[in-house]
């Protein structure tokens, strides 16, 4: 009987050891890349439909500017192993908040709601000045004021995007004279709506507009001063030791990559020009 009890206890201890080993392997990556020291796996949440920032190539591999920048960052941080997981845009920040990912990367800009929930990096990744975009034959609309004067319809971003927040805030401060609609699921629909007159304007950044003109032959133009001046940033969990340390480490590498020209090279390759913040 005692022998049976000893065997049972032994089996239980062995099971616990195996269970603990299994748990550890899910959070610690291969240590060979860091001189035998433990390597922490970092889950990065991004998208797969935002070309040229994060998208699937012809072999169904995740690629783009955001992905390549973070791969360069990871090369200089051997204590981490980055793993990318793609989500619908609206699910990325929720996944960060709930602990499913450690870093959010999808050209996120600063706004009050996001700052209250998430930790922003100090180093901007790209310039992200938002401008009003209209049909190239339209010479009457040069600002949100002009658009409001005719009760115009403007396409903004997705529900949780900064484009939506910026225009919605302006609209509330101006008696809601604008008619806001959310971004179409396909860029070609956005362009068709402008061309047909279904919408009067949309909001985007200059480099995207240039790409739409080159790719689709879109007859559009940006007008007036930017309605918002910003940079894009990586986001981390707030009030979280892992998030705070990861932010510090990634910021330090981003600063170096700016100084040595690596980010500018990646920007020219993927975005068609130098869109890297200098500060």
Domain check: are 160 and 106 in the same one?
no
Domain check: are 101 and 167 in the same one?
no
Domain check: are 116 and 143 in the same one?
no
For residues 107 and 175, the answer to whether their CB atoms sit within 8 Å is no
Domain check: are 140 and 78 in the same one?
no
* 112 to 107, 116, 149: CA distances (angstroms): 16, 6, 28
Residue 168 domain-assigned?
Answer: yes
* pLDDT reported for residue 18: 39
* pLDDT reported for residue 132: 97
Residue 276 domain-assigned?
Answer: no
* pLDDT reported for residue 9: 44
Domain check: are 113 and 241 in the same one?
yes
Domain check: are 78 and 50 in the same one?
yes
Q: How many separate domains does the chain show?
A: 2
Expressed as residue numbers, the domain containing 99 is 36-126+232-271
Residue 1 domain-assigned?
Answer: no
Residue 142 domain-assigned?
Answer: yes
Domain check: are 52 and 85 in the same one?
yes
> What are the tokens at 209?
């507009």
Residue 156 domain-assigned?
Answer: yes
| pTM beyond cutoff 0.75 | yes
Residue 259 domain-assigned?
Answer: yes
Query: What are the start-end ranges of the H helices in the chain?
Result: 2-27, 65-75, 89-97, 112-117, 144-149, 162-173, 187-196, 206-216, 241-259, 262-271
Task: Check which CATH number belongs to the domain holding 62 and give it.
Answer: 3.40.190.10
Residue 31 domain-assigned?
Answer: no
Residue 153 DSSP class: E
* pLDDT reported for residue 36: 67
* pLDDT tens series, the chain, 279 aa: 444 444 444 444 444 433 333 333 234 555 556 666 799 999 999 999 999 999 999 999 999 999 999 999 999 999 999 999 999 999 999 999 999 999 999 999 998 889 999 999 999 999 999 999 999 999 999 999 999 999 999 999 887 788 999 999 999 999 999 999 998 888 999 999 999 999 999 999 999 999 999 999 999 999 999 999 999 999 999 999 999 999 999 999 999 999 999 999 999 999 999 999 986
Domain check: are 103 and 136 in the same one?
no
Domain check: are 210 and 263 in the same one?
no
User: Residue with structure tokens 């929720």?
Assistant: 94
Which of 228, 245, 260 lies at the terminal end of a domain, its last residue?
Answer: 228
Domain check: are 169 and 84 in the same one?
no
Separation of alpha carbons 30 and 13, rounded Å: 26
Domain check: are 153 and 208 in the same one?
yes
Non-local (6+) Cβ contacts of 224 within 8 A are 131, 132, 142, 143
Domain check: are 154 and 74 in the same one?
no
Residue 21 domain-assigned?
Answer: no
* pLDDT reported for residue 29: 54
């Amino acid at each position: 009987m005692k022998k049976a009890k000893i065997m049972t206890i032994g089996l239980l201890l062995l099971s616990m050891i195996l269970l603990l080993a299994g748990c550890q392997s899910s959070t610690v990556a291969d240590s060979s890349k860091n001189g035998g020291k433990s390597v922490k796996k970092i889950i990065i949440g991004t998208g797969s439909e935002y070309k040229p920032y994060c998208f699937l190539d012809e072999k169904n591999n995740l690629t783009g500017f955001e992905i390549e920048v973070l791969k360069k960052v990871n090369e200089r941080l051997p204590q981490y192993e980055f793993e990318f997981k793609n989500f619908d845009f609206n699910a990325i920040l929720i996944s960060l908040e709930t602990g499913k990912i450690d870093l959010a990367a999808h050209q996120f800009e600063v706004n009050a709601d996001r700052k209250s929930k998430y930790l922003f990096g100090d180093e901007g990744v790209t310039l992200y000045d938002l401008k009003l975009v209209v049909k190239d034959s339209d010479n009457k609309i040069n600002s949100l004021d002009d658009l409001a004067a005719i009760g115009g319809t403007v396409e903004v971003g997705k529900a949780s995007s900064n484009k939506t927040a910026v225009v919605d805030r302006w609209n509330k401060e101006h008696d809601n004279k604008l008619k806001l609609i959310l971004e179409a699921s396909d860029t070609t629909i956005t362009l068709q709506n402008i061309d047909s007159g279904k919408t009067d304007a949309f909001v985007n950044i200059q480099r995207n507009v240039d790409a739409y003109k080159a790719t689709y032959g879109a007859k559009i133009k940006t007008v007036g001063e930017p309605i918002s001046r910003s940079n894009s940033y990586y986001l981390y969990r707030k009030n979280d030791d892992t998030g705070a340390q990861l932010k510090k480490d990634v910021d330090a590498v981003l600063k170096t990559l700016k100084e040595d020209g690596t980010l500018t090279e990646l920007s020219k390759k993927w975005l068609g020009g130098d869109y890297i913040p200098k500060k």
